[in-house]
A and B are shown apart, each in its own frame.
Chain A
Amino acid sequence: MDYSVFKVVRVNSESFPVTSFEQEMYDEYGITPDCCEINSVEQLSEVVRDADAVMVVSEPLSTAAIHAMQQCRVICRLGAGTDKIDVNAASERGIVVANVPDFCVEEQADHAFALLLAVARRLNEMRICMLQGKYHDGRQQSRPLRRLPGRTLGLVGFGRSARAMARRAAGFGMRVLATRRNMSTSDPDADSLNVKLVEFETLLAESDFVSLHLPLNDQTHHLLDRDGLAKMKPGSVLINTARGGIVDENALADVLGVGHLAGAGLDTFAVVDVHESPAMPPKHRLFEMDNVVFTPHVAAFSVDSSREVGYGSVANLVAVLSGCWPSPDRVVNPKVSPRHSLRI
């Protein structure tokens, strides 16, 4: 099959350049994507107008952008989250939205667990003291440290990264709770991993550490609002490697400030768009707190995840262009009636 007849637009060419893995796949199928960095809404509408497919990392694809697409068959997200894509608009236009949901499952679990341990054992407070030459103050900062065996980890969402997190926590002797939307059925993985499924509020009340493992959408926006944060166990810790918008960050800064929460480990933020590269200190007061460990939205990044996302997203593209559905777990809008019919 000759894929060179299709116009494939790859946005974010500078903010997230095409990786070697991704390029290898394009070469394999004889695809030469039009690579561009988007600087304005008008420019975006212009470049996607006659595209047959759009490959996207972080660029928001609003209703207007999707309406501009005259012949697009598939939007391939190079990643898992599709919260910046108007999926409903895409469905209305017969555009398949595909992602790579499992590309960083293990990375996210490693990263979330790294943040959990670093907050639990006060890495930041001690490290800062040592940087200032205050070794003995650093030792005081460590008191009291509480160890993990017997303490409770609550997983909000029980998908793949949450399960990977549960496996790690079990090795550290933690009790693990999880909650998810559908509580009606039992879950063989929960049983084998010794995870107890509980209601959201029970999880908040009983967990010493709460870790978020769910996508951002209308239902989950500010799921942890001021009320939710207040229901968390006093002295507990929040780990967010999912999406900043799931948490009300102003309320989070408040509960951290008054000591209701002991600390947090944050890889994602709603108050800062990490893809905008502002190159100036974020103004939010969260960023002045020593009991928070920050990472700049890198939980997903490793050599392995980069390979998986490169191969997986181009595989989704090739599937649709060749007239086939991508693998069902990689279709975000499975009810869409594709512009050009697809076979399984």
Chain B
Amino acid sequence: MPVVLITPEVMLHKSGPWVDMLQQAAFDVAYPKNPVFTRGSCSEEETIDELSVCDAVIAGGEVFTNNVLGALPNLRVIARSGVGFDKVDVAAASEHNVVLTITPTANHEAVAEHALMLLLSAAKRLPFNDRSARAGEWPMQQSWPVRGTTIGILGLGRIGRSFAVRAGALGAKLIATETNVDEEFVKKHGIELVDFDVLLSRSDYLSIHCPLNDDTHGRFNKTAFAKMKSNCILINTARGGIVVESELIASLESGRLRGAGLDCFEVEPPSPDNPLFRMEQVACTPHVAGSDQKSQDDMGIEAADCIVKLQSGEWPEAAVINRELQDGWKW
């Protein structure tokens, strides 16, 4: 029987509808020997060893390099649990005839909700206020309103749109940068489309909702920070690599930026000494924005669905990243 390796930590040795779906389609389900395999810190050798048993994988954060993909002749499908695929060499996957899918509709609401939590937490200075209240200091300093401010959204994909619906309910003016525009949505929610430099110069709060790729890597660097409205609060629930962390830290220290809400970091896991953790104007969470209870189940179901469909000759168009493989691809 073909084998599906399930690597995300939250799904290890857990029953769930995704397991039933795979078993009904006559797959065997297996798990990595190393329980923290999916954190992405294994060598290529160990990665190949863990993956050599399987025909398809429900993948978390493990790294699929060209070398890894070249050494796995049986691998047919990488079904990423989540929407990011920056840990996969897509060209190499296509080269080796491996279909790469994501779970496009499973977690956008979770991420949007988490991003707004970080925004409000930074605006209302919760790390500072909570620490000082527990210490018996009652600083009673002003926080910053959200209503009547301008919230900038970089990227109006599924997550950006979910974020916009919630941000609108807080009474803020919304501006966004997006090339592939859903006109009807933008009109309905009164969003003003602007180019990136205007987004930087006008946003009181700026939330990043674009993928990490060659275009966006390091996009928030000191040049961008210098163009940002003074006292802006930056929210990043997308990917750490979009922000140059050392330059973010400098901008926070100088007061150029008022604060930040961060769920992702340049290097994950970040060093325990990362100065961001000790900054009270920063609300940090450990890359959990996309994984709430419902999205975890939905990601498992959507990923399993991709594998089952591909095996039965269907093509899950909306979830496939390397669509160039469609013609003539067989399990």
Residues from chain A with a CB closer than 8 A to the CB of B136 are 272, 278-282
Residues B117 and A146 in contact, CB atoms below 8 Å apart: no
Q: How far does the Cβ of A22 sit from chain B's closest Cβ, in whole Å?
A: 15
Residues from chain B with a CB closer than 8 A to the CB of A282 are 133-134, 136
Q: How far does the Cβ of B252 sit from chain A's closest Cβ, in whole Å?
A: 16
| Interface residue? A149 (CB, 8 A) | yes
Residues B126 and A296 in contact, CB atoms below 8 Å apart: no
Mark contacts of A246-259 with chain B using CB atoms, 8 A cut-off: 1 yes-contact digit, 0 otherwise: 00000000000000
Residues A123 and B109 in contact, CB atoms below 8 Å apart: no
Binds B, one of A59-67, A88-96, A166-174: A166-174
| Interface residue? A126 (CB, 8 A) | yes
CB-contacts of B211-231 with A (<8 A): none
Report the bound CA distance from A107 to B286 in whole Å.
28
Our pick among A127, A146, A148, A168 for the contact of B170 (Cβ within 8 Å) is: A168
| Interface residue? A142 (CB, 8 A) | yes
CB-contacts of B50-101 with A (<8 A): none
Report the bound CA distance from A272 to B110 in whole Å.
36
Report the bound CA distance from A124 to B127 in whole Å.
8
| Interface residue? A143 (CB, 8 A) | yes
Interface size class of A (residues with CB under 8 A): 35 or more
Interface size class of B (residues with CB under 8 A): 35 or more
Binds A, one of B17-25, B150-158, B239-247, B277-285: B277-285
Residues from chain A with a CB closer than 8 A to the CB of B139 are 296, 298
What residue of chain A has the Cβ atom nearest to residue B133's Cβ?
A294
| Interface residue? B269 (CB, 8 A) | yes
Binds A, one of B140-148, B180-188, B308-316, B321-329: B140-148
Our pick among A123, A130, A272, A281 for the contact of B121 (Cβ within 8 Å) is: A123
Residues B134 and A287 in contact, CB atoms below 8 Å apart: yes
Residues from chain A with a CB closer than 8 A to the CB of B268 are 135
| Interface residue? B168 (CB, 8 A) | yes
Q: How far does the Cβ of B141 sit from chain A's closest Cβ, in whole Å?
A: 7
Report the bound CA distance from A298 to B133 in whole Å.
11
Residues B132 and A296 in contact, CB atoms below 8 Å apart: yes
Q: How far does the Cβ of B11 sit from chain A's closest Cβ, in whole Å?
A: 12
| Interface residue? A113 (CB, 8 A) | yes
Report the bound CA distance from A222 to B70 in whole Å.
68
| Interface residue? A40 (CB, 8 A) | no
Residues from chain A with a CB closer than 8 A to the CB of B294 are 146-147
Report the bound CA distance from A306 to B133 in whole Å.
21
Our pick among A129, A133, A298 for the contact of B129 (Cβ within 8 Å) is: A298
Residues A127 and B283 in contact, CB atoms below 8 Å apart: yes
Report the bound CA distance from A64 to B147 in whole Å.
42
| Interface residue? B178 (CB, 8 A) | no
Residues A145 and B291 in contact, CB atoms below 8 Å apart: yes
Binds B, one of A114-122, A212-220, A321-329, A332-340: A114-122
Report the bound CA distance from A111 to B121 in whole Å.
9
- Known contacts: A110-B170, A294-B134, A301-B141. The answer to whether A144 contacts B284 by CB under 8 A is no
| Interface residue? B202 (CB, 8 A) | no
Residues from chain A with a CB closer than 8 A to the CB of B127 are 127
| Interface residue? B114 (CB, 8 A) | yes
CB-contacts of B1-42 with A (<8 A): 9-10, 36, 39
- Known contacts: A114-B124, A124-B130. The answer to whether A302 contacts B143 by CB under 8 A is yes
Our pick among B137, B145, B269 for the contact of A107 (Cβ within 8 Å) is: B145
| Interface residue? A84 (CB, 8 A) | no
Residues B137 and A127 in contact, CB atoms below 8 Å apart: no
Residues B113 and A135 in contact, CB atoms below 8 Å apart: no
- Known contacts: A114-B124, A147-B294. The answer to whether A136 contacts B109 by CB under 8 A is no
What residue of chain B has the Cβ atom nearest to residue A168's Cβ?
B169
- Known contacts: A168-B170, A294-B133. The answer to whether A110 contacts B126 by CB under 8 A is no
Residues B285 and A114 in contact, CB atoms below 8 Å apart: no
Report the bound CA distance from A302 to B125 in whole Å.
12
Report the bound CA distance from A121 to B115 in whole Å.
10
Report the bound CA distance from A287 to B171 in whole Å.
32
| Interface residue? B250 (CB, 8 A) | no
What residue of chain A has the Cβ atom nearest to residue B261's Cβ?
A123
Report the bound CA distance from A278 to B133 in whole Å.
11
| Interface residue? A106 (CB, 8 A) | yes
Residues B135 and A295 in contact, CB atoms below 8 Å apart: no
- Known contacts: A110-B123, A171-B170, A172-B169. The answer to whether A117 contacts B117 by CB under 8 A is yes
Residues from chain B with a CB closer than 8 A to the CB of A167 are 169, 171
Report the bound CA distance from A84 to B294 in whole Å.
46
Residues from chain A with a CB closer than 8 A to the CB of B284 are 126-127, 130
Report the bound CA distance from A272 to B138 in whole Å.
10
Residues from chain B with a CB closer than 8 A to the CB of A171 are 165-170
| Interface residue? B195 (CB, 8 A) | no
| Interface residue? B116 (CB, 8 A) | yes
Report the bound CA distance from A123 to B113 in whole Å.
13
| Interface residue? B270 (CB, 8 A) | yes
Residues from chain A with a CB closer than 8 A to the CB of B10 are 143
| Interface residue? A293 (CB, 8 A) | yes
Q: How far does the Cβ of A305 sit from chain B's closest Cβ, in whole Å?
A: 8
| Interface residue? A196 (CB, 8 A) | no
Residues from chain B with a CB closer than 8 A to the CB of A275 are 138
Residues B140 and A297 in contact, CB atoms below 8 Å apart: yes
Residues B145 and A298 in contact, CB atoms below 8 Å apart: no
Residues A302 and B129 in contact, CB atoms below 8 Å apart: no
Residues A147 and B113 in contact, CB atoms below 8 Å apart: yes
| Interface residue? A182 (CB, 8 A) | no
Residues from chain A with a CB closer than 8 A to the CB of B277 are 127, 130-131
Residues B295 and A106 in contact, CB atoms below 8 Å apart: no
- Known contacts: A135-B269, A139-B287, A295-B124. The answer to whether A106 contacts B171 by CB under 8 A is yes
22 pairs from A and B in contact (CB 8 Å cutoff): A110-B145, A110-B146, A110-B147, A114-B121, A115-B124, A127-B284, A133-B273, A135-B268, A138-B285, A145-B291, A167-B169, A171-B167, A171-B170, A274-B138, A282-B136, A293-B126, A295-B129, A296-B139, A297-B140, A298-B139, A301-B140, A302-B144
6 closest Cβ pairs, A-B complex: A171-B169, A133-B272, A114-B120, A117-B117, A144-B293, A294-B133
